[in-house]
Amino acid sequence: METWLSKKLTDIPVIDRISGRMLGRVGQVLVLLPAARVLGVTVAVESGWKKQAYLQRNDIWAFSANCILTRGKALSPLRGEPEGLDFPLYSPQGRLEGRICDVLIDSMGGIRGVQISKSLVEDVKNGREILPLRGNLILGEDRAQRVLLLPENN
């Protein structure tokens, strides 16, 4: 199954597969990390002025590296600012693995892995690591900061 980093899907067209009309371009892929699934995408719509809309996962017919096809449903207004992915990721033993900077998405909208950044120096020296996901991540709170834990079987 083909996979892509979510940031690679930014700015690709969102097309209604029934009418063939381009609805806009992907702004951001919205994910629910603990459940390892895509919630939807923000869509930059040009209608006199640029605005952001929301396309939920159930209305997406297919993901690809070239476009996202919809099921013919209308876009919803985007309310509020989407949350980013910048979470610290810990192993089941409590070791800091790095910070999540992107997710690996498959053509069905599932999340197959997370791309982590260990540090600027490590990223430049060795590149960023992609950790495959097996099972759901565990969402926790560390004071006022949200953290994610890898499952035991990862």
Confidence label for 81 from pLDDT (cuts 50, 70 and 90): low
Residue 83 within a domain = no
Per the structure, the complete domain to which residue 61 belongs is given by 3-77
Residues 56 and 94 in one domain: no
Distance CA 100, CA 6 (A): 12
Reported in sequence order, the residue ranges of 47-86 that DSSP labels E, i.e. its strands, are 50-56, 60-63, 68-70, 76-77
Residue type, 78: L
Number of domains in the chain: 2
Q: State the Cα–Cα distance between residues 66 and 9, nearest whole angstrom.
A: 8
This prediction has a pTM of 0.73
- For residue 143, the 8-state DSSP code is T
More confident residue, 77 or 46: 77
Domain membership of residue 154 (yes or no) is no
CATH classification of the domain holding 31:
2.30.30.240
Please report, for the domain that includes residue 106, its CATH number.
2.30.30
Residue 25: pLDDT band by 50, 70, 90 thresholds? very high
pLDDT-above-70 percentage for the chain? 80
- Give the residue among 137, 140, 139, 132 at the shortest CA–CA distance from 150: 137
Q: What is the pLDDT of residue 138?
A: 62
Quick: pLDDT tens for 102-129: 888 888 888 888 888 888 888 889 888 8
Q: Give a yes or no: residue 40 inside a domain.
A: yes
